[in-house]
Amino acid sequence: MNSDRNKKARILCGSTDLGSSAFCADLLWCSAFKVPDPVTLVEIDDTRILLTSSLEVARAQKEAKVDEVVLIEEYAQRAREEGVNPLIIFLRERGVGSVMVPGSLGYDLGGKLSKHFSVNVCIEQFYPERTIKKEFEIAEIAKAQVAVDHALDEVRTILSDAHINGDYIFHRTFGDTPITSEHIRDGIEHALYKEGYLALDTIVACGVQAADPHMRGDGPLYARQPIVLDIFPRSRSSLYFTDCTRTFFKGEPSGEMIALYENVREAQEGALEKIRAGVDGFDVYTWVRENFDKKGYSTNTQAHPVHGFIHGLGHGVGLEIHEAPRLGACHAILQEGMVVTVEPGLYYPQAQGSIPAGGVRIEDTVVVTKEGNKNLSSFSKDLRSIIMQ
């Protein structure tokens, strides 16, 4: 490498369009540019340069929050002559000798770059500062959460107005058909869509289905059984998410089921009390898991089926539904301005002694503060709020 090429570049490739397979949240966060086809962002010495095709260049110049917009076609001729990617010509021209790329950068492009530059993979987040949310980001997530709380209110109203016949639940809106997961999901997703939010694969899982945390749920809802409602809509304009889960019941559940619910609620509220800047997410996760163990709700992720508290305690929320930090089996010191979920759950596909079959999860999205955290949901978890008689 000669002395003319001593600069370091950071490189991101992708599009920022929700429907694209190449969606790159870091690129949207950094450039604020909505673009359907993949573009490349290069940072050299704090200068952010967006490389786009002729199709996007005019709009990029107007809309992208970058220092420079470069037409990639200007490098096409030389790239063809040398038989290399145009990005390589560009980087060389700018005196770049080494590049830092995210682990998700295409293996193909990474391999090509490695023939001309020293390539370092960024193992952690590409922009660690993305975990600390700015005011407008928190406002976007909070607005989404208000819409979720309204949607939960609507579900509560429907279940309150409904009546039980045998094991099923009926409501005049759906005539003689028992209320299903699909009915409730459709209602939630349509209501959120009207408010400007995209809710996809909303979980409405009842009874044994609720024992699988990623089961969307289908078919009739059952009276007196847990109905897990996990709603994670995304703003259609800003693309920010929120994430929230409540577990409802129609009709009084068994004492064992109430005990299961109350254990999850106490764990969730206990965890919320611990969440504050400076705390290690791992410690809060461990506290929840040990607390469940102590109360007799054991976890086994090697068993078939797996059961207990089988997932992490939470995760960051922003332009991705699951982003850093993770609150789970790894250390992660919480910082002021992080937005994270706190979502313990207990899952038993089969009854175990006095533990009934089923699943319960309770989840809030909170902003970490110096003193503790600010819960973006105001939807109650008390038994009288979540059991509809």
Give the residues lining the site for a second copy (CB under 8 A).
Answer: 17-25, 34-37, 54-59, 73, 101-111, 119, 121, 123, 190, 193-194, 198, 200-201, 212-216, 232, 234, 236, 241, 301-302, 305-306, 310-311, 320-322, 349
Pairwise CA distance, residues 46 & 61, whole Å: 18
Nearer to a second copy, 113 or 386 (CB): 113
Q: How far is the CB of 258 from a second copy (least distance, A)?
A: 26
Could you tell me how many residues make up the chain? 389
Nearer to a second copy, 37 or 293 (CB): 37
Strands, sheet with 203-206, edge to edge from the N-terminal-most edge strand: 203-206, 227-231, 244-250, 387-388
Pairwise CA distance, residues 266 & 252, whole Å: 19
Nearer to a second copy, 11 or 388 (CB): 11
Q: How far is the CB of 319 from a second copy (least distance, A)?
A: 9
Nearer to a second copy, 273 or 303 (CB): 303
Q: How far is the CB of 111 from a second copy (least distance, A)?
A: 7
What is the number of other CB atoms lying within 10 angstroms of the CB of residue 128? 12
Nearer to a second copy, 169 or 239 (CB): 239
Nearer to a second copy, 34 or 276 (CB): 34
Q: How far is the CB of 103 from a second copy (least distance, A)?
A: 3
Pairwise CA distance, residues 231 & 17, whole Å: 22
- Would you call 286 helix, strand, or coil by DSSP? helix
Amino acid identity at 228: V
Of 40, 96, 34, nearest in space to 68 by CA: 40
The three state secondary structure string of 107-174 is HHHHHHHHCCCEEEEECCCCCHHHHECCHHHHHHHHHHHHHHHHHHHHHHHHHHHCEEECCEEECHHH
Q: How far is the CB of 229 from a second copy (least distance, A)?
A: 16
Q: How far is the CB of 373 from a second copy (least distance, A)?
A: 24
